[in-house]
Amino acid sequence: MEETFDSAFDSLVSGMLSCHKGDPAAVEAVVGQMESLLKIMSLPDVPSRDWDSNHLSYLQKQGTQWLNAAEISCPAQDTRESQAGSLSLHERIGIVRKGIQTMSPPGSRASLAKKWVFTEEISADIRELGFADAAYGWQTWSGGALMAYLIANGTLSLGENAILELGCGTGVVGIIAAKQGAKHVVMTDYLDRILENAGFNVQANQCCENASVCLLDWRQFSNAEATSTGPLSPLLATPQKDIIQFKCIIGADICYEIEHGKLVPPVLKTFLERSDSAQIHLVSTLRGDVFGTTFFEAQMLEAGFCVVMQKDYSPLDFGDDQQDIARAIFNGPDQRFRYYRYGWDSSTAQLN
C-alpha cells in the first residue's frame, strides 16, 4: 500500500523523537523516512491540503536541527552498504537537509536558481530542481562545480573542440565549456526532467548557439564491442546512423555507483575519436569508497585508455584569494576530488 503524507509525517516525527543520534543505523533509518516524506511532498498530484506551511516549517526548523545534531553525534563513517548505494550517511544528511531547505510551501513551489561566480568574468545562473524530481541530477554537485571552475579559470583547457558531456545534471559544466569557446557542447543525461532543466539552463545562460542537450543513457552501451543497441539522438549520430565521435569528452561525478565503473568506459569508447589528440576529462568525488574508485580506474585501463594526467583536489589547493569559490564548491574541509585526463593507450588502441 502506498504511504500517505500523514502516515509518513507521523512516523518521521516519532522516529526523530525516539532515535539515538549516536547510532548510525538508527540515524540512517530516520534519514530514509525524511527522504520518503520529501518524495511524497514533491509529487505533483499530492493534494496541497495533505500538507501545508506548518508541516514545512516544522521540517525546516526541527528537521534541520535534528539533522545537524545527528551529523555531529554520528561518526563520519563509511555507510556505503546502505540502501542508497555509494552515498555515505553524512552525504545523505547533506542532501536531505538541502531538500528540506529548498522546498517551498504548496502553491508557491518554485525551483531554485543559484548564481555560480567562477571568476570575475565567468558565471552561470543554474536552476536546480525539487528534491524528488530528478534523482541525482537535481542539484549541481561539488564535482561539477569544481570542473566548471577549472574550465572557467583556464586550468582545464578544452580548446575549441566539439565536446560531449556525459551525465550533465543541471548543466553547469557544459554551459561553462560553451562560454569558454567550445565549438559545440552536446550535453547528455538520461531522465526527461533533467534534460528539460539542463535545456532551460542553457537558454537562461544564452548558450543555445553552441550548446545543446540530448538523451544518452549509458545502459545502451554495455557490451564489450561498445555499439549502440537503440536509436541515437541526431546530435550523436549522422543521418546514416553512424555514431558521431568527439575529440573531447567530459564528465563530472558520473561514477558514483560501482556499476558506473562498468557502464561508463564503453560509452567513452564508443564516442571518443580514435586519434592521439583525443582526450577525456573527468572529475570524480572521492567518497571513501576506495573499491569503487579502484574498480573504475581498472575498467578504464581495460577499455584501452591511459591516464595522461591525474590530480587530487581538496580545499587546501585553494589560496586566500580563492576562498569564496572554495566555500561554494566544497561541502566541508574533508571533501576530496580526483581529476583525470585520459587518452587512448596507443599500445592497445588502433589510432588513425
* Pick 9 or 141: Cβ nearer ligand SAM: 141
Q: CB of 225: closest distance to ligand SAM in angstroms?
A: 19
**At closest approach, how far in Å is the CB of 67 from ligand SAM?**
20
Q: For residues 144 and 288, which CB has a smaller minimum distance to ligand SAM in the complex?
A: 144
Q: Which residue has the cell 541530477?
A: 137
Q: How far is the CB of 172 from ligand SAM (least distance, A)?
A: 6
Give CA–CA dist 81/299, Å, rounded. 22
233, 199 contact by CB (below 8 A):
no
Specify whether the CB–CB gap between 15 and 76 falls below 8 A: no
Phi, psi for 188 (deg, rounded to 5) = -125, 155
User: Is there a contact between 35 and 96 (Cβ–Cβ < 8 Å)?
Assistant: yes
315: Cα separation from own chain's centroid: 19
- Least separation in angstroms between CB 166 and ligand SAM: 7
| Least CB distance to ligand SAM at residue 273 (A) | 20
How many CB atoms are closer than 10 A to CB 196? 13
Kindly tell me which of 12 and 329 has the beta carbon lying closer to ligand SAM: 329
Cβ closer to ligand SAM: 33 or 139?
139
Strands (E), 236-328: 248-252, 279-286, 305-313
Contact footprint for ligand SAM (CB under 6 A): 135-137, 140-141, 143-144, 167-170, 173, 189-191, 194, 216-219, 252-254, 256
Specify the residue, 256 or 339, whose C-beta has the smaller distance to ligand SAM. Answer: 256
Other residues' Cβ atoms within 10 Å of the Cβ of residue 72: 9
**CA–CA distance from 340 to each of 2, 83, 309 (Å)?**
44, 29, 6
Is residue 249 within 8 Å of residue 271, measured between CB atoms? Answer: yes
For ligand SAM, which is the closer residue by CB, 70 or 185? Answer: 185
**Which 8-state DSSP code applies to residue 135?**
G
Q: How far is the CB of 311 from ligand SAM (least distance, A)?
A: 17
Q: Which is nearer to ligand SAM, 138 or 305 (CB)?
A: 138
Nearest distance in Å: CB 263, ligand SAM = 6
